[in-house]
Amino acid sequence: MADPDLSDVKRRMDGAIDALHREFAGLRTGRASAGLLEPIQVPAYGAMMPMNQVGSISVPEPRMVSVQVWDRTQVGAVEKAIRDSGLGLNPVTDGQVVRVPIPALSEERRVELTKIAGKYSEQARVAVRNVRRDGMEMLRDMEKDGEISKDEHRLWSDEIQEMTDAHVKKIDEVTAQKEEEILQV
């Protein structure tokens, strides 16, 4: 009898949490973060490139992000990409450095951002549940093919459920932490 390979199930659940972290990095909290500008695409050299491939992103002050653009001809494109990103940021150019002051968030905007964070975490929970469903189907198929017994099926199902519960708990913790960060004045 072969044991089912649950490492793929765990890897996919971990992937859902990693995706959630990436989504949260782009959510503005009123504090400067290099992750805020990383997803922005800049039209450079005939292609769309991520911000971190056209310049160095740094956080010199708590409410300021700066981009040291490597190629002087791309400064205008970087500034325009930040302005058009929909993040509500207004960059200021100083030579080859684009400074982006992070304005304080209004209470209304904070509540809106917590709702968006909630949507992201629900998407992550759904992804984890879909992985659980796939794992349960794999066990069901293995039992039907005679590779595992009913008792083993129950044991492995319990293990997949424990894995799911742990990942959902982790998502809830990360979400609570992000919401606290957003609501912090």
Is there a common fold for 7-24+106-183 and 31-101? no
What confidence tens digit (pLDDT) does each residue in 8-25 have? 899 999 999 998 888 887
The least confident of 35-39, 62-66, 72-76 is 35-39
Q: What is the CA radius of gyration of the chain?
A: 22
Average pLDDT over residues 76-102: 86
Q: What pLDDT, on the 0 to 100 scale, is given for residue 61? A: 84
- The stretches of the chain forming alpha helices (DSSP H) are 7-25, 75-83, 107-144, 150-183
136: number of Cβ within 10 Å: 17
Closest by alpha carbon to 69, among 45, 33, 35, 98?
98
| Predicted pLDDT at 85 | 78
Taking only the tens place, the pLDDT of each residue in 115-132 is 888 988 999 999 999 999
Tell me the domain boundaries of the chain: 7-24+106-183, 31-101
Specify the higher pLDDT residue, 41 or 164: 164
| pLDDT on residue 25 | 76
CB-side neighbour CA atoms (13 Å) of 129: 6
* Cα distance from N-terminal residue to C-terminal residue, the chain: 58
Whether residue 185 is predicted with pLDDT greater than 70 in this model: the reply is: no
CATH for 31-101 (3.40.30.10, 3.30.1360.40, 3.30.200.20, 3.30.470.20): 3.30.1360.40
| pLDDT on residue 155 | 93
Q: Check if the beta carbon of residue 41 is closer than 8 Å to that of residue 50.
A: yes
What topology is assigned to 7-24+106-183 in CATH?
Answer: Topoisomerase I; Chain A, domain 4 (1.10.132)
